[in-house]
Amino acid sequence: MYQERQGEKLQEFHNMINITFPDGAVRQYEQGITALNIAKSISEGLARKVLAADVNGQVWDATRSITEDATLKLLTWNDPEGKSTFWHSSAHLMAEAVESIFPGVKFWVGPPLDNGFYYDMDLGERKLNEEELDMLEKRMFQLAKQDNFYVRKEIPKAEAIQYFTEKGDEYKLDLLQGLEDGTITFYTQGNFTDLCRGPHIPNTGFIKAIKLTNIAGAYWKGDEKNKQLTRLYGVSFPTLKELDEYLILQEEAKKRDHRKLGKELGIFTFDDEVGPGLPLWMPNGAIVIEELEKLAKETEEEAGYKRVVTPHIAKESLYLTSGHLPYYEDSMYPPMELEGVKYYLKAMNCPHHHKIFAAEPKSYKDMPLRLAEYGTCYRYEQSGELFGLMRVRCLHMNDAHIYCSKEQFFQEFRAVNDMYLKYFKIFGIDKYVMRLSLHDPAKLGKKYINEPALWLETEDLVRMVLRETGTPYIEVPDEGAFYGPKIDVQIWSTIGREFTLATNQVDFAQGRRFKLEYTNKDNQPETPLIIHRAPLGTHERFIGFLLEHYAGKFPVWLSPLHAKILPISDKFLQYSHEVKTKLRKTGVRVETDERGEKIGKKIREAELSRIPYMLVLGEKEMNDGKLSVRRQGKGDIGSYTVDEFISMITDEIRNRN
Ligand SMILES: [Zn+2]
Ligand SMILES: [Zn+2]
């Protein structure tokens, strides 16, 4: 079924080329062979899965001729580049469907997303409705079944301009302005031709399942002075099963949306007058925050950290010393001026901590020094990027900086890693991966601080820690920070959604910039290594994650309310008060539902508020000095004396079960 591409002249190729596969195997093929035909020569099954190809480090159409020796990686749905090629090609298919139903439509751009694709288009005055979405979906499906090839054609600029002038698409003409002759390609599938640099999947038949997910407005080039275009979103899959799984996950994610749950459970809110991206933590949210900080403080105290507290602002000169200014200025709030000096809201806690290190002379006996703070930082995120608690402008960070000698580094880094694993266990995070970003020796002194030995040494030590502790990790070359290797910690919620929790950073540079020193055993000054770490990330992101992870049903220790007393009638209010007083004395967070409502309604509402324990009190309970205990989601779990219940719940809270 995979013939030579339409329109391509068959040429006689006699030369052979060497193709190197990812496992290092080298095979010979005729010059001009395509990745798709190479896949076919391996197996038909593989060929059916090949979406694109990585040829000498560049992602290409799998149908493009390879004319010289090359390294080759066949890209399938399981490769991020394969997936994005699939989704981008689906955007072309969507455009074809739109044009076939609404001729005269003009197109801007149609990129892939993390989860699907969109295309921006000018439909004139027309507003799409749900029925039309259905119709477009069906049309896309029909077109997909035609198995049309995505045919690539290099085209002179003049010809491209002529094509879109005749078509009357000023948006594509605008795109063409920025392109140079000799670099312009058209792709055609079926009756639709687009200006695009590619790559695309071999043909439309690979797209087996389609869902158009959303219609939105988008200003041309993101500028609100420009015309508003229609942005049509969709997602597509190589099998129907994958679409079904996606839809189920979407449904579940909607129920667990942290913005919805945060409102229902009184965790946080936003207010226009306070400002975008500045969450207000409500009483229930403040309890969750305090419990997390309690956990962090206990854990850090046990691990030998010392707590510090620092101001939210600092003079410009501090950030010039740290190097955050001018490089990071776009991510900071604009400065305020006072007594002729510029002050900035802090975007990082590090510089303040370094000043605490420098405040008193240090010797090797003071090392390692671990300074911890739940520090409040302010970062400028564009308003379009703000998203619930996930992207905010004010964040509370589980921050600490560890100052240590090279000899202490391994031990210290290992302890940080252990802390992560401890937290993952407490929060039931079963799936996580550490992404270790390394330097590129060729870029030392440019992209990376010029410390070749230190880079290799610390990278090795970090790797050793990850191996020894059996922590799942992947290595990413050439993505380290300027001043040292870093680890991004990725975690997955119970419904399988990925979150980036935090970044750990090894730092060779800041110590020197701040002239931090300690006296070593030979009485010589030495610059400490610095580890930046934040295992619980920020309250904002982590609580957003936890809301989804637990679907709002926090474990007892984290619950804003541990228990609610539900008296059956006013007759038992006195007994309810006695029980409440006794529970509160032992630290149980408990309230009484004193309303004159029916008990059934009280139970239902407590269930909906996801309160872990409900204590029903009536005649029998009062006479026996007992409580009828219900567990959220489980129903009646039996009757207990007040002391029995206290012992059970305080155990559960203490152990953070
Ligand atoms: Zn394209
Ligand atoms: Zn830091």
Q: Which ligand is nearest to the CA of 198?
A: 1
Q: Is a pLDDT exceeding 50 seen at residue 218?
A: yes
pLDDT the model gives residue 383? 85
Query: Ligand 2 centroid vs 401 CA: distance in angstroms?
Result: 6
- CA–CA distance, 451 with 521 (Å, rounded to integer): 23
Model confidence pLDDT, tens digit, residues 390-432: 999 999 999 999 999 999 999 999 999 999 999 999 999 999 9
Collapsing DSSP states into helix, strand and coil, what is residue 156?
coil
Whether 568 and 618 have beta carbons less than 8 Å apart is answered as yes
Task: Say whether pLDDT at 204 is over 70.
Answer: yes
- How does DSSP assign 267-286, residue by residue? -EE--TTT-TT-PEEPHHHH
Q: What is the β-pairing status of strands 369-378 and 306-307? A: parallel
Alpha carbon of 500 to ligand 2 centroid (Å): 17
pLDDT digits (tens, 9 = 90+) for 254-310: 999 999 999 999 999 999 999 999 999 999 999 999 999 999 999 999 999 999 999
d(CA 352, CA 438): 27
Range in 63-77, 339-353, 438-452 with the lowest mean pLDDT: 438-452
Q: What is the dihedral of CA 516, 519, 520, 526, to 10 degrees?
A: 30
Residue 540 CA to ligand 2 centre (angstroms): 18
Mean pLDDT, rounded, for 210-238 = 94
List, as ranges, residues with CB under 5 A of the ion ligand 1. 196
Hey, is 484 helix, strand or coil?
A: strand
* CB-based contact 354:514 (threshold 8 Å): yes
Question: What is the distance in A from the centroid of ligand 1 to the CA of 150?
Answer: 9
- Mean pLDDT score, 370-382: 95
Per-residue confidence (pLDDT) for residue 32, from 0 to 100: 94
Six-digit token pair at 246? 């996606």
* Alpha-carbon distances, residue 437 vs 312, 407, 463, 468, 655 (angstroms): 30, 22, 11, 18, 35
If you average pLDDT over residues 559-568, what whole number do you get? 98
Give the ligand at the shortest distance from the Cα of 188: 1
Quick check: 9 pLDDT over 60? no
Residues in the chain: 657
Compute the distance between CA of residue 574 and CA of residue 370 in angstroms, rounded to an integer: 51
Q: What angle do CA 320, 325, 331 make, to 5 degrees?
A: 150
pLDDT higher than threshold 90 for residue 11: no
Q: Residue 79 Cα, ligand 2 centroid: separation in angstroms?
A: 33
> pLDDT at residue 488 above 80?
yes
Q: How confident is the model at residue 482 (pLDDT cuts 50, 70, 90)?
A: confident
Q: Which two tokens stand for residue 160?
A: 């491209």
Question: Which has the closest alpha carbon to 561: 578, 536, 584?
Answer: 584
For residue 510, the CA-to-ligand 2 centroid distance in Å is: 10
The secondary element (H helix, E strand) that includes residue 320 is: helix 316-322
For ligand 2, the distance from its centroid to the CA atom of residue 314, given in whole angstroms, is 15
Cα of 383 vs centre of ligand 1, distance in Å, is: 29
Cα–Cα dist 631/622, whole Å? 20
Q: Give the distance (Å) from ligand 1 centre to CA of residue 175.
A: 13
Q: How far is the CA of 227 from the centre of ligand 1 (A)?
A: 23
Closest ligand, as measured to the CA of 352: 2
Query: Under the phi-then-psi rule, with left for phi > 0, alpha for psi from -120 to 50, and beta for the rest, what region is 67?
Result: alpha
- The pair phi, psi for residue 73, each rounded to 5°, is -125, 120
- How remote is the CA of residue 112 from the centroid of ligand 1, in Å? 9
**Ligand at shortest distance from the CA of 201:** 1
Span from the CA of 91 to the centroid of ligand 1 (angstroms): 8
Write phi, then psi, for 501 (nearest 5 degrees): -85, -50
Q: Residue 6's pLDDT is what?
A: 46
CA of 505 to the centre of ligand 2 (A): 8
Please state the rounded mean pLDDT for residues 17-41. 95
Distances (CA, A) of 442 to 9, 181, 448, 449: 42, 33, 9, 12
Environment class of 334 (CB within 10 Å of its CB; exposed 0-12, middle 13-18, buried 19+): exposed
Distance (angstroms) between ligand 2 centre and the Cα of 536 equals 14
Q: What is the distance in A from the centroid of ligand 1 to the CA of 116?
A: 14
Residue 542 has a CB neighbour count (10 Å cut-off) of: 27
Residue 198 in this model has a pLDDT that exceeds 80: yes
Between the CA of 363 and the centroid of ligand 2 the distance, in Å, is: 22
Tell me the pLDDT of the chain averaged across its residues: 94
Phi-psi region of 587 (alpha: psi -120 to 50; beta: other; left: phi over 0): left
Integer CA distances (angstroms), 286 to 115, 206, 249, 312, in order: 33, 50, 30, 20
CA of 584 to the centre of ligand 2 (A): 39
How far apart, in whole angstroms, are the C-alpha atoms of residue 111 and residue 543? 31
Q: Residue 172 C-alpha to ligand 1 middle, in angstroms?
A: 13
Give the pLDDT of residue 447: 86
Task: Determine the pLDDT at residue 384.
Answer: 83
Place of tokens 């399981």: 78
Instruction: Count CB-CB contacts under 10 A for residue 579.
Output: 25
Ligand 1 centre to CA of 32 (Å) is: 23
Q: pLDDT grade, residue 14 (50/70/90)?
A: low
Categorize the per-residue pLDDT at 15 as very low, low, confident or very high, splitting at 50, 70 and 90.
Answer: confident
pLDDT score at 94: 98
Q: How confident is the model at residue 496 (pLDDT cuts 50, 70, 90)?
A: confident
Sign of CA dihedral 559, 561, 562, 564: negative
- Percent of the chain, pLDDT > 90? 91
pLDDT in tens, 113-124: 988 999 999 999
Whole-number Å distance, alpha carbon 194 to ligand 1 midpoint, is: 7
Res. 7: pLDDT tops 90: no
Ligand 1 centroid – CA 191 distance (Å): 15
Mean pLDDT of 599-618: 96
Q: What is the pLDDT of residues 324-373, one digit of tens each?
A: 898 889 999 999 999 999 999 999 999 999 999 999 999 999 999 999 99
Query: What is the distance in A from the centroid of ligand 1 to the CA of 85?
Result: 8
Task: Report the b/e string of 294-303 with b at 16+ CB within 10 A.
Answer: ebbeebbeeb
Q: Which DSSP string do the residues of 109-147 spell out, in sequence order?
A: ---EETTEEEEEEE-TT----HHHHHHHHHHHHHHHHTT
* pLDDT number for residue 3: 45
The pLDDT tens digits for 617-630 are 999 999 999 999 99
DSSP secondary structure letters along 612-646: SEEEEE-HHHHHHTEEEEEETTTEEEEEEEHHHHH
pTM over 0.95: no
Mean pLDDT calculated for residue range 144-155: 96
Q: For tokens 């795109």, what's the residue? A: 175
What is d(CA 356, CA 301) in angstroms, rounded to the nearest whole number?
18
